[in-house]
Amino acid sequence: MLERPTSYFGRYVFNEKAMRERLPKNVFEQLTNALNGGPQKLNIRIADVVAAAMKEWATSLGATHYAHWFHPRTELTAEKHMAFLSIDEAGTPLETFTGSELIQGEPDASSLPSGGMRSTFEARGYTAWDPTSPAFIIPTKKGGTLCIPSIFLSWDGTPLDMKMPLLKAITAIEERSLKLMRLFGNRGVRWVKVTVGAEQEFFLIDETLARRRPDIVLCGRTILGCPPPKGQQLEDHYFGAIHPRVLAYMDDVEIEMHKLGIAVKTRHDETAPCQFEFAPQFTEANLATDQNQIMMTLMKRIARHHNLRLLLHEKPFAGINGSGKHTNVSLLDSEGFNLLEPSNNQRRNVQFLAFLGALILGVSKYSSLLRASVASPGNMHRLGGFEAPPAIMSIYLGNTLTNVLDRLEEGFPEEIPTSGMMDLGLNKLPSIKKENSDRNRTAPLAFTGNKFEFRATGASQSIAGPLTMLLAIWAWGIEEITNRIESRLGSSDITDATLDVLRGVAKESANVRFEGNCYDESWHEEAVRRGLPIANTTPEALSYYLIPENRELLSNLGIMTDREITAYYETRLEQYIKTVDVEMAVMEDMIRRGILPSISKQITQEGNAFERAISLYDEDFECWRGQIRSLCETKEQLIKKLKELGQFRKKISETNLDESASLMTHDGLKLMNEIRALSDAAEAWISDDIQPYPPYRDLLVIQ
């Protein structure tokens, strides 16, 4: 009989249940107190007890190693495994793990990107235990590793990871939310938490075919390839019956996720052929970020057991949909209320509008920061692709809320008594729930009934980056709204004061609210008219980090210092340049060693047949001759363009960061597109038996 998920859910997580079972009562209480923001800090004595319990727990489940598991600025996670096994002076083997080993690690991670924050001679960074995300075990066939979620800093305390800024942004918004709630008289509320659910899109292709493509192996996407005869034209994949091979894979992923305490709720076929989605149940933001990273890592690993290859790239195939990671966000209070949930209670509804207005106000002022947060090498190929949100950040609210804001803006509420005023729209708020299906899928940021959904995040990105910026913007909005309300409280009550503030917010945010189709060309023109920031390329979008107001926002909220922002920007830009450079090198290699020789073979084959034909028949065979000629010409042009590419790469290696980025984006990508067009045109005429790489036609079908 198969075990039920409830019986193994969370087996590999050192969660509250495991802690309660294994820690002395007073230590458990001190630890949970400290985690809930209590006055007592964790000390080494407690850490020693926790470490001993963690080790016992982990080894009882077969773990042989531990690792500080952290999020460097690569979008991936990092880990350096340490064995529990050590040998004492008498030569006796022991399993050891101390409190100080739990609290701090020194991975000498000198080769991880820091954007010039460390020079190599003072390279040692250290990792520090983040007890707010529970430790977990990644099992292997013969053991397993106890992973300790950690932050990663340089010796002077400068963050070098994705987690520190996120944790600071979470604190910033939680503190400000609590203050706003107090203003609404919620005395009993002890805490507010950010909740996050990340829907993960991905592609699965056959591993045997994937291995034969250097672009997939090295870049995670195809750099060459002519369109398949059947792509997504028939729209027959979305929500289709899941292929048994994929379903078997999904079952395995789910079982492993469940053991790691991740409740996968949704699985389905996505729009493009071979594209799928998993959505876990939402949880607290820090944990959700870790869980998404665990999920991506294990999804990749488990795919191999099914002879499948997982592609998380934002645009693995040209001409069909790319993959995103819709990031759903809301706020939850200690009484169990979702602060973005409209309710029947009027006071709660006004409070709901205040939180909603705070985000809208923030985005209207700082949308460029949101755009910067999703600027990655891969996402550039996806955003604005008419199947993904455009590169312009706007908010969709739906009819009801837009009406509420419009009416506020028109000033209606002022002219009528309070109760009537509420009737004017606010009383209708509960109907928002019914309108849940009123969905506009084209907006980058949408209110979806009781949460915001940020759709611009790339599938391979860590959600930490986009979340940090979204929460920073929202935290600013909450503070701003709180101040504005407070300044009016002397003369009016909280409801009137809030509605008055929201009236201003409605006006100020009109620029960023858009209910229409964001894929439409006309929206682009409209956005220009509205003066919204538009960045179509990754370097342009990244440069938004350097806008003085954005820098001020992040440093005022204590999320990143000015120097850290510069470093963050440089790391991102460098990552972009290096990624494009690797793609160019792979393209060069594939053309030189695969495409060009195959064109020659095709020409030889055709040429021989052609000569034979004209010796047999007294005819010109004009078209045929032309086809052979065109292959010869394509080959000639490809060789010429490859030369240009070589020269271009040499030039790039000699220019500075900003200049390389700009050259890459404008001249480099153009050159790559030209080369691809030539190569794809040739590929279409090369016979199956001499194709150097499996074509789209075969890659995009799971047999």
Binding site for ligand ADP (CB under 6 A): 195-197, 199, 266, 279-282, 326, 328-330, 338, 450-451
The item of ligand ADP, Mg ion, none sharing an interface with residue 451, based on CB under 5 to 8 Å by kind, is: ligand ADP
Cβ closer to Mg ion: 128 or 279? 279
Distances (CA, A) of 160 to 153, 285, 369, 435: 5, 19, 20, 43
Q: CA 482, 483, 489, 492: dihedral to nearest 10 degrees?
A: -80
Query: Cβ 592 to Mg ion, closest distance in Å?
Result: 42
Cβ closer to Mg ion: 199 or 206? 199
Cβ-contact 541, 384 below 8 angstroms: no
CB atoms within 10 A of CB 373: 28
Sign of the torsion formed by the C-alpha atoms of 14, 17, 21 and 27: positive
Cβ-contact 223, 676 below 8 angstroms: yes
Residue nearest to ligand ADP (CB): 197
Distances (CA, A) of 471 to 142, 276, 373, 463: 41, 28, 12, 12
The item of Mg ion, ligand ADP, none sharing an interface with residue 330, based on CB under 5 to 8 Å by kind, is: ligand ADP
DSSP three-state, residue 111: coil
Residue 443 backbone dihedrals phi, psi, to 5 degrees: -85, 140
Cβ closer to Mg ion: 441 or 578? 441
Query: Cβ 199 to Mg ion, closest distance in Å?
Result: 4
Cβ closer to ligand ADP: 201 or 496? 201
Query: Cβ 96 to Mg ion, closest distance in Å?
Result: 45
Cβ-contact 474, 358 below 8 angstroms: yes
- Residues linked to residue 128 through DSSP beta bridges, in sequence order: 104, 151
DSSP three-state, residue 612: helix
Query: Cβ 441 to ligand ADP, closest distance in Å?
Result: 9
Query: Cβ 204 to ligand ADP, closest distance in Å?
Result: 18
Cβ closer to ligand ADP: 326 or 676? 326
The item of Mg ion, ligand ADP, none sharing an interface with residue 299, based on CB under 5 to 8 Å by kind, is: none
- Residues linked to residue 144 through DSSP beta bridges, in sequence order: 139
Question: Distance (Å, rounded) from C-alpha 352 to C-alpha 447?
Answer: 12
- Nearest CA among 162, 547, 535 for reference residue 380: 535
* Tokens coding 121: 């001679």
Looking up tokens 């790339």 gives 458
Q: Which positions touch Mg ion (CB under 5 A)?
A: 199, 279
Print the SS3 string covering 357-422.
Answer: HHHHHHHHHHHHHHHHHCCCCCHHHCCCCCCCCCCCCCEECCHHHHHHHHHHHHCHHHHCCHHHHH
Cβ closer to ligand ADP: 336 or 490? 336
Cβ-contact 474, 330 below 8 angstroms: no
Query: Cβ 297 to Mg ion, closest distance in Å?
Result: 21
The item of ligand ADP, Mg ion, none sharing an interface with residue 677, based on CB under 5 to 8 Å by kind, is: none
Query: Cβ 176 to ligand ADP, closest distance in Å?
Result: 18
Cβ closer to ligand ADP: 237 or 641? 237
The item of Mg ion, ligand ADP, none sharing an interface with residue 338, based on CB under 5 to 8 Å by kind, is: ligand ADP
Question: For residue 63, which amino acid is it?
Answer: A
DSSP three-state, residue 87: strand
Cβ closer to Mg ion: 279 or 585? 279
Query: Cβ 298 to ligand ADP, closest distance in Å?
Result: 17
The region, left, alpha or beta by phi > 0 then psi within -120 to 50, assigned to residue 316 is alpha
Query: Cβ 127 to ligand ADP, closest distance in Å?
Result: 28
The item of Mg ion, ligand ADP, none sharing an interface with residue 556, based on CB under 5 to 8 Å by kind, is: none
Query: Cβ 217 to ligand ADP, closest distance in Å?
Result: 30
The item of Mg ion, ligand ADP, none sharing an interface with residue 282, based on CB under 5 to 8 Å by kind, is: ligand ADP
Query: Cβ 382 to ligand ADP, closest distance in Å?
Result: 17
Q: CA 105, 108, 110, 115: dihedral to nearest 10 degrees?
A: 20
- Nearest CA among 76, 113, 219 for reference residue 582: 219
Query: Cβ 233 to ligand ADP, closest distance in Å?
Result: 23
The item of ligand ADP, Mg ion, none sharing an interface with residue 281, based on CB under 5 to 8 Å by kind, is: ligand ADP
Cβ-contact 679, 637 below 8 angstroms: no
Cβ closer to ligand ADP: 455 or 513? 455
Cβ closer to ligand ADP: 478 or 699? 478
Question: Distance (Å, rounded) from C-alpha 618 to C-alpha 427?
Answer: 87
Looking up tokens 């009781």 gives 450
CB atoms within 10 A of CB 358: 27
CB atoms within 10 A of CB 495: 19
Question: Distance (Å, rounded) from C-alpha 310 to C-alpha 607?
Answer: 41
Cβ closer to Mg ion: 241 or 616? 241
- Nearest CA among 129, 137, 164 for reference residue 48: 129
Cβ closer to ligand ADP: 292 or 543? 292
Cβ closer to ligand ADP: 330 or 400? 330
The item of ligand ADP, Mg ion, none sharing an interface with residue 329, based on CB under 5 to 8 Å by kind, is: ligand ADP
Query: Cβ 473 to Mg ion, closest distance in Å?
Result: 24
Cβ closer to ligand ADP: 338 or 427? 338
Cβ-contact 211, 269 below 8 angstroms: no
Query: Cβ 278 to Mg ion, closest distance in Å?
Result: 9
**Cβ within 8 Å of residue 578, ≥6 positions away:** none
